[in-house]
């Protein structure tokens, strides 16, 4: 949070929303990685990321 530079920005709603969007992006990337790196994979390696289901893209 100190990267926002201004103390008044530390409680900014915008910063919190951006963190959530970034976290969702990272989770989606981790969930899709097994299908990109190993085409024969049927489940993700960690149930936290993909809940055991892979989505076929393309």
What are the pLDDT tens digits along the chain (58 aa)? Answer: 455 566 665 565 655 666 777 878 788 777 766 666 666 665 555 555 555 555 666 5
pTM of the shown model:
0.32
CA terminus-to-terminus distance, the chain: 38
Give the pLDDT of residue 7.
Answer: 61
SS3 assignment for the chain: CHHHCCHHHHHCHHHHHHHHHHHHHHHHHHHHHHHHHCCCCCCCCCHHHHCCCCCCCC
> What separation in angstroms does the CA of 51 have from each of 1, 5, 8, 9, 31?
30, 37, 38, 35, 8
Give the pLDDT of residue 10.
Answer: 59
């Amino acid at each position: 949070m100190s990267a926002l530079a201004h103390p008044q920005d530390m409680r900014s709603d915008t910063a919190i929303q951006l963190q959530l969007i970034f976290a969702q992006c990272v989770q989606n990337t981790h969930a899709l990685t097994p299908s990109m790196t190993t085409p024969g994979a049927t489940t993700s390696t960690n149930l936290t990321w993909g809940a055991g289901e892979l989505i076929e893209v393309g």
